[in-house]
Structure 1
Amino acid sequence: MEKTFQRIAQHTCSWSKGMLTMHNYQGFWNIQDFHEGAVLAQESFKAQPSDVFICSHPKTGTTWLKALAFAVVTREKFNESSSPLLTTMPHECVPYLEKDLEQIEENHKNKSFPLVSTHLPYDALPRSIIASDCKIVYIYRNIKDVIVSYYNFLCKWLNIPIKDAPFELAFDEFYRGISWCGPYWDHILGYWKASQERPGRILFLKYEDMKRDTTSNVKRLAEFVGHPFSSEEEQAGVIQNIIKLCSFENLSNLEVNKSGKHRSETNAPVENRLYFGKAKDGDWKNYFTDEMIEKIDKLIDQKLSDTGLVLK
Structure 2
Amino acid sequence: MDASQEPHLPNYMKDDKVSQETKKLISSLPAAKDFMGYGLYNYKGCWYYPNTLQAVLDVQKHFRPRSTDIILASLPKGGTTWLKSLAFAVVNREKYRENPQLHPLLSQNPHDLVPFLEIELYTKNQIPDLSNFPSPVIFSTHMHLNTLHEATTKSSSSPCKIVYVCRGIKDTFVSGWHYRNMLHRTNMSQDAFELMFDAYCKGILLYGPYWEHVSSYWKGSLEDKENVLFMKYEDIIMEPSVQVKRLAEFLNCSFTKEEEESGSVEEILKLCSLSNLSNLEVNKKGTTRIGIDSNVFFRKGEVGDWKNHLTPQMAKTFDEIVEYRLRGSGLIFQ
TM-score normalised by the chain length of structure 1: 0.91
Partner of 1:178: 204
Give the structure 2 partner of residue 150 of structure 1.
176
Identify the match of residue 93 of structure 1 among 113, 116, 124.
113
Question: What is the identity percentage for the equivalent residue pairs of Structure 1 and Structure 2?
Answer: 39
Q: Which ranges of structure 1 fall in alignment gaps of 5 or more residues?
A: none
Question: In 2 relative to 1, CA 43–126 (structure 1 residues): closer, same or farther, beyond 3 Å?
Answer: farther
CA offset at residue 7 of structure 1?
Answer: 2.6
Show the counterpart of 1:78: 96
- Assess if the C-alpha contact under 8 Å between 1:48 and 1:134 holds in 2: yes
Residue aligning to 2:32: 11
1:128, distance to aligned residue in structure 2 (A): 3.8
Give the C-alpha shift of residue 104 in structure 1.
Answer: 3.5
TM-score, length of structure 2 as denominator length? 0.85
Report the CA distance between 1:165 and its aligned residue. 5.4
Instruction: Please say if residues 72 and 141 of structure 2, whose CA atoms lie closer than 8 Å, have aligned partners that are also in contact.
Output: yes
Cα distance in 2 between the residues matched to 1:281 and 1:34: 29
- Residue aligning to 1:252: 278
Amino acid at match of 1:144: K
Q: Is the 8 A contact 1:45 1:126 kept in 2?
A: no
Q: Residue deviations 1:263-290, cap 9 Å, x none?
A: 35xxxx3111010011111111122222
* Residues 145 and 281 in structure 1, CA contact (< 8 A), matched pair in contact too: yes
Q: Deviations over 1:217-256 (max 9, x none)?
A: 0000011011111111111111111110000000000011
Change (3 A) 1:152 1:24: same
Query: CA 1:143–1:169 in structure 2 vs 1: closer, same or farther (change >3 Å)?
Result: same
SS in 2 for 1:88: coil
Residue 4 of structure 2 corresponds to which residue in structure 1? none
* Residue of structure 2 equivalent to 1:115: 138
Cα distance in 1 between the residues matched to 2:301 and 2:221: 27
Per-residue CA deviation, residues 35-62 of structure 1 (Å, 9 max, x unaligned), is: 2221111111112111211011111101
The CA RMSD measured in Å over matched residues stands at: 1.8
Distance 1:302 1:55 in 2: 24
Equivalenced residue count is 302
Q: CA deviation at 1:308?
A: 2.5
Q: Are 1:215 and 2:267 matched, yes or no?
A: no
Cα distance, 1:34 vs. partner? Answer: 2.6
Q: Give distance in 2, aligned partners of 1:299 and 1:75.
A: 41
Distance 2:245 2:201 in 1: 35
TM-superposition CA deviations, 1:65-123 (whole Å, max 9, x none): 0000001111111243211111110011012111225364432xx5x233111000011
**1:260 Cα deviation (Å)?**
0.8
Change in CA separation of 1:287 and 1:220 when aligned onto 2, cut-off 3 Å: same
TM-aligned CA deviation for residue 198 of structure 1: 2.0
- Quickly say closer, same or farther: Cα 1:307–1:236, change in 2 above 3 A: same
| Equivalent residue, structure 2, for 1:35 | 53
Instruction: Note the C-alpha offset of 1:293.
Output: 2.0
Q: What's the offset of the Cα at 1:192?
A: 1.5
- Contact between 1:245 and 1:251, CA under 8 Å: does it hold in 2? yes
- The structure-2 alpha-carbon separation of the partners of 1:162 and 1:175, relative to structure 1 and needing over 3 Å to count, comes to same
Q: Distance in 1 between matches of 2:39 and 2:108?
A: 29
Residue range with higher mean Cα deviation, 120-129 or 226-235: 120-129
Q: Which residue of 2 aligns with 1:304?
A: 326
What secondary structure is seen at the aligned counterpart in 2 of 1:262?
A: coil
Residue identity matched to 2:111: H
